[in-house]
Amino acid sequence: MFETQTINVDEVISETLPTRAFAAQSSTSQLALWNFERRAVGPRDVLIKIRYCGVCHTDIHFLKNDLGFSVYPLVPGHEIVGIVTRTGDLVKKFSEGDVVGVGCLVESCRTCANCKEGEEQYCLNGAVYTYNGIEKETGNITYGGYSSQVVVNEDFVLHVSDKLPLEKVAPLLCAGITTYSPLRRWNIGKNHRVAIVGLGGLGHMAVKFARSFGADVTLLSTSPLKEQDALALGANQFAVTTDDVQVQKLTGSFDFILDTICSQHDLNIYLGMLKTHGSLVYLGIDPAPSKIALVSMVFSGRTVAGSLIGGIAETQEMLNYCAEHNITSDVEIIDIKDINEAYVRMVNKDVKYRFVIDMATL
Amino acid sequence: MFETQTINVDEVISETLPTRAFAAQSSTSQLALWNFERRAVGPRDVLIKIRYCGVCHTDIHFLKNDLGFSVYPLVPGHEIVGIVTRTGDLVKKFSEGDVVGVGCLVESCRTCANCKEGEEQYCLNGAVYTYNGIEKETGNITYGGYSSQVVVNEDFVLHVSDKLPLEKVAPLLCAGITTYSPLRRWNIGKNHRVAIVGLGGLGHMAVKFARSFGADVTLLSTSPLKEQDALALGANQFAVTTDDVQVQKLTGSFDFILDTICSQHDLNIYLGMLKTHGSLVYLGIDPAPSKIALVSMVFSGRTVAGSLIGGIAETQEMLNYCAEHNITSDVEIIDIKDINEAYVRMVNKDVKYRFVIDMATL
């Protein structure tokens, strides 16, 4: 009797999970409804019913195969918040009903120097991304958060405070940590003059974090129309980078510049605005090389660095910080049927500041 | 009687100083003998009889007007060592007969934030370079060390130990401090894997300093012929960067790379060799922009920075360190009449590792 029961339980747990999603079938197709099977919930796994999923510009890069390694069908989405609906036998950190988040990573080697230092995003054996990665447990492609549910090892699941509106938390899982992490690594705080380049999903979070850390913040944009919004979000100053006079005035002004622009652009304008020994951190993943006037960096001892999201522990730290300081993303909630239109609007910079899909509409 | 004497002394001191030099009269001419007047020795000035002057690749850049602001006649030379032959009334730090050095700077504003922090090379009001600068005291162009003597404010004169052969000290004033400063700023020492790119005047000093600070040093060169020399200078390893297999093996290997190549080259090969959060410091002053694949910097959190020589206090610190640790440049002494031929050999990378002009031959 006991034996039979055990076998039954195993069978239930080992069943794959029918899942609804929106997927692209090729680099030229639109996103549309697609059904697939999630892996069975393993002993250390958490099953999450997805409530909201943020829409990141990276989703568009992958849909269009801009980086050259997209696999189709592609289910984007790595700004996931939801509710735990099942936990594996050995799960210790989460219980059914917990509010949780999943960001860009769902697994890593856990043994390399970077993983051991909590920087799973830089896993030397290749972190498993939430979509378009190779699922360690099955060898299948990972599918992201434009879906009804997701199965994730508990070590890559984040606790989310119930103090904050869930839909506004979703973008923190990528836009939030991607801007929080470099600001923390460079110890940005009081007495720092900081510029944020671009006022999109990442840029608006960067303004909020930099201000919260005590920095004096200038928002730099190619569009004069962003001024009111930038100031409303907390920026101390605003400047238009297509205006040579304004650019000239800012020469040598900033200790730190966070460049949140995802498309190709000229970094040299911003480099010239750095103080001696100032740093510009670039967050884009456009594969085309940029022309950098290194000589101007030599004559002022300036730095350009790249930064990629953040590790799991730091993401949790960021979420806790946001709950404590009431920081969330400004979002526009959409139905999943409107996702293709939302992509067009994002390319046209017509969003304040992050689309978030209400997954109840799936 | 006393009054007359005083007047006589003033008259002597205020006399300009006939000086022999080698100068270029245009961007296409060779260096040749030229006579000019140094400014009179002011109350805070030191007159230095130049014994040796190192030959830096920057001298060639300026002769050819590569940066576009050369003024002719141009007297290059900013690796100067010599003997104090006269001091102004208020000079406190030096006496006649002292062995001294002068590097790339002879004055700065002294009041800006960078000058106050001892980083006169980044003077926000424009440091006065040893040649092709504008002399603060007279408004004239500064003339460098390819000359019989030089007048410099004592605050920009360095003490040189008599423990070291003077001709081998000269290159420390530029090649030495330019490599010492970034290695110190990045706290390079034990447990660091460091690569030095290029085995010229700067590169060979970088190998010596990095090894002296305790780092594991790999010399990277396009020429396999440099291997024996690199190892003889103290490098722990050597790799040829035109060999794809060797380059591939070094992916993600180095904490720090010091790129001492002064001509245009592809930095991306070296960036790929950095560990996560590794830094490449670039020292060149070629004005053409470089194409950098920023996406590879994002995916490994890598950094590129520029660095320019070092401040006066740090230059003195470096000279003291060299005296204490018996570090000097490997030099080839030349007569000044052979300077034009030396330039040709430098462009052809045919020097181990720094030409130094014996100014007694002037």
Model pLDDT for residues B245-281, shown as the tens digit of each residue = 999 999 999 999 999 998 889 999 999 999 999 999 9
To probe the interface with B, which of A57, A260, A286, A294 has the most B CB atoms within 10 Å? A294
CA nearest A177: which of A294, A359, A355, A313? A313
To probe the interface with A, which of B286, B295, B302 has the most A CB atoms within 10 Å? B295
Half-sphere exposure of residue A273, counting CA atoms within 13 Å on the CB side?
29
Contact of A361 with chain B, judged by CB distance below 8 Å, is answered with no
pLDDT at residue B4 above 50?
A: no
List pLDDT tens digits, range B32-71.
Answer: 999 999 999 999 999 999 999 999 999 999 999 998 999 9
Residues of B whose CB is below 8 A from A295:
284-287, 306
- Note the pLDDT of residue B263: 83
Under the banding of pLDDT at 50, 70 and 90, the label for residue B84 is very high
More confident residue, B325 or A1: B325
pTM value surpassing 0.80: yes
Average pLDDT in the B310-339 region?
A: 98
Distance (Å, whole) CA B276 – CA B247: 17
Contact A285 B298 (CB under 8 A): yes
pLDDT at residue B188 above 80?
A: yes
Mean of all residue pLDDT scores within chain B: 95
CATH superfamily for A176-306 is NAD(P)-binding Rossmann-like Domain (3.40.50.720)
Under the banding of pLDDT at 50, 70 and 90, the label for residue B359 is very high
> Percent of chain B beyond pLDDT 70?
96
Report CA-CA distances (Å) from A335 to A31, A61, A131, B336.
13, 21, 21, 79
Contact of A253 with chain B, judged by CB distance below 8 Å, is answered with no
pLDDT at residue B11 above 70?
A: no
List pLDDT tens digits, range B239-248.
Answer: 999 999 999 9
Tokens of A231: 């100031």
pLDDT at residue B320 above 70?
A: yes
- Note the pLDDT of residue B251: 97
- The DSSP symbol for B258 reads E
Neighbours of B323 (CB within 10 A): 18
Cβ atoms of A338 and A315 closer than 8 Å: no
What lies within 8 Å, CB to CB, of B248 at 6+ separation is none
- What is the CATH number that goes with domain A9-174+310-361? 3.90.180.10
Contact A297 B287 (CB under 8 A): no
Under the banding of pLDDT at 50, 70 and 90, the label for residue B2 is very low
Q: Give the residues of chain A that fall short of pLDDT 50.
A: 1-12
Residues of A whose CB is below 8 A from B267:
294
- Residue range(s) occupied by CATH 3.90.180.10 in chain B: 9-174+310-361
| Residues facing residue A21 across a β-bridge | A34, A147
- Note the pLDDT of residue B285: 85
- Note the pLDDT of residue A205: 98
More confident residue, B8 or A19: A19
Q: Which residue has the tokens 């008599």?
A: B162
- Note the pLDDT of residue A167: 98
- Note the pLDDT of residue B10: 46
- Residue range(s) occupied by CATH 3.40.50.720 in chain B: 176-306
What lies within 8 Å, CB to CB, of A120 at 6+ separation is A105, A108, A110, A114, A127, A156, A311, A312
> Percent of chain B beyond pLDDT 90?
92
Average pLDDT in the B228-249 region?
A: 97
